[in-house]
Amino acid sequence: MERSEVFVFQGVGYLAEILASFHEGVAKPRVVLTPALLEQLTDSQGRPRLKTARYMLLNDENREDLGFASLEEALDLGEELFSFWRDLSEYMVLKKEFVGKGDREDEFLAVKCSKRGNDVYQRRIKTRLGWMHREIPDKKFFEIKDFQVDKVVKTSLLWVTLTWDTKRGDIIQAWETLGSGFNRWLSALRSKYGEISCLRVWESYESGYPHVHAVVFFSEAQFTVFPHWNEEENKLTFRINEKEEIASLWHSHVDIQAISSLSNVFNYIKKHQEKIILGLSGSIHEQDDPKVGFDLENIKGLRTLFLSWIFRKRSFSVSGNFREKFTDLISHLHNSNMGKQLDLFGNEVLEWRYVFLGVFLGSELGISAGIWVSRLEREAVVRLLEGRSWKN
């Protein structure tokens, strides 16, 4: 049996089903994922790897060999490849050695790898951003009743969307220069308005071109807010008079909305998590009112995940002082105490060190995808290492 055939049968779940349905004529998949095609997109062990994906899909000549004239044409294929990589459960095998006083036997552990979009990754993002839900109560910056003839409403907190003009270049150029372009935009903002703090996420349109969402807090500047009723969408949003000043610092279209409360920021982050991790989409509304709030593009979350993966982009970033600036907006904080350092099983850490032994498929270890951490027998680890040494 050829390696590509082995790969398909070991390909866990949905990918094998897609191929089976294609060959049986039951259903036509979005992309014809033949074993021969997959063989060119995986490593010698039949595993999807970022290095291989980049080499084949971002290189014009290699991509044309696969039958695609552009990355746009290969987006569906890329999503399928990414999904297979994400859902392929792989584990770091670690040797736990006791380095304290006395004798203790070594232990061996398998720890599920965090992959962009999988269950471990989801938990890590929720943990990292959990402080916004635990520590900060809601705070209203302004409400619709504040907009009166004799009153000026100001804000220092904006939600900015930066798009990419397709005339500037193809998708590859757009994604590869997105980070440097955004950093230049931030530098220009600081030069014009002083200190700022930012939470940023990349997202993809259906076309594959990127855009940026950023929650920006200005420490030294305020902007004049006005309510804007969109007749076409029958929705109220809040805009600022100084939009063009900020928009002139970016090369393509810019949309700016004023953020009326902290809860809106929380809802935005939650929706982003849902889109990026679960592939959902929707809108953020104030107090469950569908006519007041922020629109979220009905983009394909999977497309964003794939493109962020292949271009090695972090899906979101938070500036170092963003948390500090947010806590300054309220009158008090809930203090959090650091507990004892715990190991992978929740036990207090003694004097141990961990030695990395390699990454193995869950099927090689006999571990189901739902298990994150598992103890391994020494003999089983020895056999695994010997087998891999023999293959290499």
**Mean pLDDT over all residues of the chain?**
79
User: DSSP label at 342?
Assistant: B
As a whole number, mean pLDDT of residues 242-267 equals 90
Sign of torsion, CA 144 146 149 152?
negative
pLDDT tens digit string along 351-366?
778 999 999 999 999 9
Does the CA dihedral 53-210-292-151 come out positive or negative? Answer: positive
Residue in this structure with the two tokens 């006083």, named with its chain if needed: 101
Report the chain's C-alpha Rg in angstroms.
25
pLDDT tens, 129-147?
666 656 556 678 888 888 8
Q: Which residues contact 132 (CB under 8 A, 6 or more apart)?
A: 265, 266, 269, 326
Count helices and strands in the chain by DSSP H and E runs: 15, 14
Q: Kindly state the average pLDDT of the residues 279-283.
A: 46
Virtual torsion, Cα 180, 181, 183, 188, nearest 10 deg = 140
Residue in the block written with tokens 């989409």: 281
Half-sphere exposure at residue 199, Cβ-oriented, CA atoms within 13 angstroms: 17
Res 364: pLDDT: 92
Please compute the mean of the pLDDT values over residues 89-95 and round it to a whole number: 95
Of residues 160 and 289, which shows the higher confidence score? 160
Question: Token pair for residue 172?
Answer: 């590859």
Q: What strands lie across the sheet with 373-376, from one edge to the other?
A: 352-361, 90-98, 107-112, 373-376
8-state DSSP, 274: I
The CA distance from 289 to 293, in Å, is 8
At 300, is the secondary structure helix, strand, or coil?
Answer: coil
Q: What is the pLDDT of residues 173-224, one digit of tens each?
A: 999 999 999 999 999 999 999 999 988 888 899 999 999 999 999 999 999 9
Mean pLDDT lowest among 82-91, 96-105, 259-268, 296-305: 296-305
CB 217 within 8 A of CB 200: no
Which of 45-54, 137-146, 167-176 has the highest average model confidence (pLDDT)? 167-176
In angstroms, how far is the first alpha carbon of the chain from the final one?
A: 20
Cα angle value 162/166/169 (rounded, 5°)? 110
Domains located in the chain, CATH noted? 1-135+341-392 (no CATH), 136-327 (3.30.70.1910)
Tell me how far apart the 2 most distant CA atoms of the chain are, in Å. 81
